[in-house]
């Protein structure tokens, strides 16, 4: 079979496919839906789950204009029909119209939010449409009057001669019609350090914390309307590295860092939303000079192992961005704020100098998230930290002290072994430096960590 061809239209996302119809004395054959070929042409990989057929006995049967909240792939199995589409989505293209005659060699992809209608030009026309959500009874959706003068669809058969249902005759005009809003964004873990930063970049997002949505709770997950979302940002995590080594902490870490991401990955595949998840340099043992995205996982402690398991699960989602980061600093309790407090109190701390990496400010992490989405970057794993030369924790503590008006010499560098003496501490990677080349190649320029640190320390 030859490749179909794809034609764009004035309605964004609505495309016409001209199919290869193989005819002989017996009739014809066509590949009405061929995922590999059609996605290669540029059609969205929209994941149909239901195929509906509508038999129309009489010429002039007219249906629509219906704007169900899912994508459609429409065609006719036999006969001819006049297809008409109206953009009912919020935005500049609202009210845009496109029409085309449908025959067995023509198909149309109709994106969510575009009103769909057709009129049969012969008796006995069978109209087919694939959809990517299961039909749900009583699902509300915008509709439009077939005779609306604003869109002025040029119906081949006058509507007063057509077969139309009473319901379709009662649809509102364009001026009165409801506009379809886009699918929503959800931030999970919205009240954490990263969740609060993400709210700045995604101000219209819906927010959920553990009290609203526990992704490890089967009933809560089942009740949540996942089909309403196009993007889910998972900022929830268990981050108590040392406590994760305890019996209670181990269970909590595995639930939050592995089970919850695995559930979200399955939901992302089922409901076709993009999943953004945040990981850690702890998935590596710290023996490499710099860590690339494709380095084999080598976690040391329980926290690290749970994060690695979450990475594997998220990687199975068809549309995912996994941002692997290090030494996160945001609003709330963190290393920098602790050093500032100690400096204010006149304390001279001992800080490890044999663990090396870069800080990642939550503002930088959320900015990178926004960038990947806006740039339509390829799905997959990206390392992300602030830029600049790598430093030790002791180097950073000295800089915080200097910015706080204290002498850098008030910070005493010690080895991890010396610092951990007499303490119950999980193993930590000695080198947390992430290679940033992949995200830089998408056009993102990480801000130097010391520039960001200075600005952060100047804020109250």
The pLDDT tens digits of the residues spanning 177-228 come to 999 999 999 999 999 999 999 999 999 999 999 889 999 999 999 999 999 9
Domain span including residue 408: 184-458
Is 136's pLDDT higher than 90? no
Q: Are residues 138 and 212 in the same domain?
A: no
State yes or no: is 129 an active-site residue: yes
In whole angstroms, how far apart are CA 275 and each of 154, 265, 280, 295, 350? Answer: 42, 7, 17, 22, 40
Lowest mean pLDDT among 106-115, 190-199, 220-229, 419-428: 419-428
The answer to whether residue 174 is domain-embedded is no
Polymer length of the chain: 460
- Is there a domain that residue 178 lies in? no
Whether residues 386 and 313 fall in one domain: yes
Strands (E), 204-273: 206-208, 229-234
- Helices 247-254 and 302-314 cross at an angle (nearest 10°) of 10
Q: Are residues 241 and 342 in the same domain?
A: yes
| Residues 336 and 247 placed together within one structural domain of the fold | yes
Do 198 and 140 have their domain in common? Answer: no
| DSSP symbol at 166 | H
Residues 284 and 370 in one domain: yes
**Which of 112, 145, 169 is where one domain is finished?**
169
**Domain boundary residue among 169, 202, 221?**
169
Domain annotation covers residue 179: no
Task: Write down the pLDDT at residue 21.
Answer: 92
Residues 39 and 93 in one domain: yes
Q: Known catalytic residue: 66?
A: yes
pLDDT exceeds cutoff 70 at 334: yes
Please tell me the predicted confidence (pLDDT) of residue 423.
82
pLDDT over 70 (residue 417): yes
**Which stretches of 281-420 are assigned E, i.e. beta strand?**
320-325, 328-329, 350-352, 356-357, 360-361, 380-383, 391-392, 412-414
One domain for residues 149 and 97: yes
Same domain, 384 and 447: yes
The answer to the question of residue 175 being in a domain is no
| Mean pLDDT, all residues of the chain | 94
| Together in a domain, 333 and 310 | yes
In this predicted model, what pLDDT tens digit does every residue of 65-76 receive, in sequence order? 999 999 999 999
In a domain, 322, yes or no: yes
Q: What is the CATH number of the domain that holds 219?
A: 3.40.50.720
The domain tally of the chain equals 2
**So what's the pLDDT on residue 421?**
84
The percentage of the chain sitting over the pLDDT mark of 90, rounded to a whole number, equals: 91
194 within domain boundaries? yes
Q: Considering the domain boundaries, does residue 441 fall inside one?
A: yes
- Looking up residue 31, the CATH number of its domain turns out to be 2.60.120.10
If we measure between CA atoms, which residue out of 426, 257, 408 comes closest to residue 355?
Answer: 426
Q: Is the pTM of this model over 0.85?
A: yes
Any domain includes 364: yes
Q: Is the pLDDT of residue 1 over 70?
A: no
Q: Which of 125, 146, 169 is the last residue of a domain?
A: 169
State the Cα–Cα distance between residues 277 and 365, nearest whole angstrom.
11
> Are residues 208 and 245 both part of a single domain?
yes
pLDDT, tens only, 152-186? 999 999 999 999 999 999 999 999 999 999 999 99
188 with 165, same domain: the answer is no
pLDDT in tens, 27-63: 999 999 999 999 999 999 898 999 999 999 999 999 9
Catalytic residue among 118, 127, 129, 456: 129
Residue 390: other Cβ atoms inside 10 A = 17
pLDDT at residue number 211: 87
């Amino acid at each position: 079979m030859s490749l179909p061809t794809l034609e764009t239209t004035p309605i964004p996302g609505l495309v016409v496919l001209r199919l290869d119809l193989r005819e002989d004395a017996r009739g014809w054959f066509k590949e009405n839906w061929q995922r590999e070929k059609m996605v290669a042409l540029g059609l969205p990989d929209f994941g149909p789950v239901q195929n509906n057929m509508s038999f129309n006995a009489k010429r002039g049967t007219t249906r629509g204009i219906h704007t169900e909240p899912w994508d459609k792939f429409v065609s006719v199995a036999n006969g001819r029909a006049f297809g008409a589409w109206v953009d009912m989505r919020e935005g500049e293209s609202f009210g845009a119209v496109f029409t085309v005659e449908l025959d067995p060699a023509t198909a149309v992809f109709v994106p969510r939010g575009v009103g769909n209608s057709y009129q049969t030009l012969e008796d006995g026309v069978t109209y087919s449409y694939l959809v990517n959500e299961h039909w749900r009874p009583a699902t509300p959706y915008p509709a439009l009057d077939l005779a609306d003068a604003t869109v002025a669809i040029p119906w081949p058969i006058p509507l007063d001669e057509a077969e139309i249902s009473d319901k379709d005759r009662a649809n509102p005009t364009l001026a009165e019609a409801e506009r379809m809003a886009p699918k929503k964004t959800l931030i999970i873990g919205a009240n954490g350090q990263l969740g609060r930063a993400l709210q700045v970049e995604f101000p219209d997002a819906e927010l959920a914390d553990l009290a609203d949505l526990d992704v490890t709770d089967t009933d809560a997950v089942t009740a949540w309307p996942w089909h309403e979302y196009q993007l889910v940002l998972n900022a929830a995590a268990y981050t108590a590295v040392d406590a994760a080594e305890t019996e209670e902490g181990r269970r909590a870490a595995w639930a939050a860092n592995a089970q919850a991401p695995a559930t979200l990955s399955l939901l992302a595949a089922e409901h076709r939303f993009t999943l953004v998840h945040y990981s850690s340099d702890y998935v590596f043992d710290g023996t490499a000079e710099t860590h690339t995205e494709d380095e084999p996982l080598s976690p040391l402690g329980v926290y690290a192992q749970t994060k690695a398991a979450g990475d594997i699960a998220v990687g199975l989602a068809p549309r995912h961005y996994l941002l692997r980061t290090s030494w996160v600093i945001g609003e709330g309790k963190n290393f920098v704020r602790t050093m500032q407090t100690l400096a204010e109190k006149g304390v001279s701390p001992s800080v490890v100098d044999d663990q090396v990496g870069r800080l990642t400010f939550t503002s930088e992490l959320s900015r990178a998230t926004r960038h990947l989405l806006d740039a339509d970057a390829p799905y997959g794993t990206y390392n992300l930290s602030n830029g600049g030369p790598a430093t030790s924790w002791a180097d950073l503590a000295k800089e915080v002290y200097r910015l706080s008006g204290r002498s850098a010499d008030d910070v005493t560098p010690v080895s991890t072994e010396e610092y951990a003496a007499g303490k119950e501490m999980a193993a930590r990677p000695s080198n947390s430096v992430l290679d940033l080349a992949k995200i830089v190649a998408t056009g993102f320029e990480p801000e130097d960590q010391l520039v960001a640190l200075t600005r952060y320390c100047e804020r109250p």
